[in-house]
Structure 1
Amino acid sequence: MRLSARNCLKGKVVSVSDGAVNAEVVLELAGGSRLCAIVTRDAVEELGLESGVDASAVIKASNIILAVPA
């Protein structure tokens, strides 16, 4: 797989929580950090996402907005 995205983080799926339309997939990265992705239930099925599966988070964002308390 070749991508134009610069941020590709390898990890392992630790949980998948189904919702009515979407699912929350938690990926654990090397070092123990975790990130959460919201994907369609169809994507979970098509990609075979379940606990223990190796997966990569591909991050391509044109904007990241930060906020601090007023």
Structure 2
Amino acid sequence: MKISARNQIPGRVTAIQPGAVNGSVKVDIGNGIVVTANITEEAIADLNLAEGDQVTVLAKASDVLIGK
């Protein structure tokens, strides 16, 4: 499958916290960095995600914000 997102980072699922509609998935991408993605419970089930799974974090955004 080809994806248009160019920011593709491999990592390992370290935690999945279920929710009513969306779940929180934590992915260790190395060097002590953990990315958290909030995705639907349906997507978690469709991907059959589990702790320890090797996954790819895809980031595609039209805006990046910085605050101080």
With normalisation by structure 2, the TM-score equals 0.93
Q: CA RMSD in A?
A: 0.9
Shift of 1:30: 2.4
Point out where structure 1 has 5 or more consecutive residues left out of the alignment.
Answer: none
Shift of 1:28: 0.4
Q: What residue number does 1:55 align with?
A: 55
Q: What residue number does 2:5 align with?
A: 5
For the pair shown, the structure with the greater C-alpha radius of gyration is 1
Q: What residue number does 1:43 align with?
A: 43
Identical aligned residues as a percent: 32
Shift of 1:31: 2.1
Which runs of 4 or more aligned residues in structure 1 lie more than 2 Å from their structure 2 counterparts after TM superposition? none
Quick one: which amino acid aligns to residue 28 of structure 1?
D
CA distance in structure 1 between the partners assigned to 2:52 and 2:35 by the alignment: 15
Point out where structure 2 has 5 or more consecutive residues left out of the alignment.
Answer: none
Shift of 1:50: 1.1
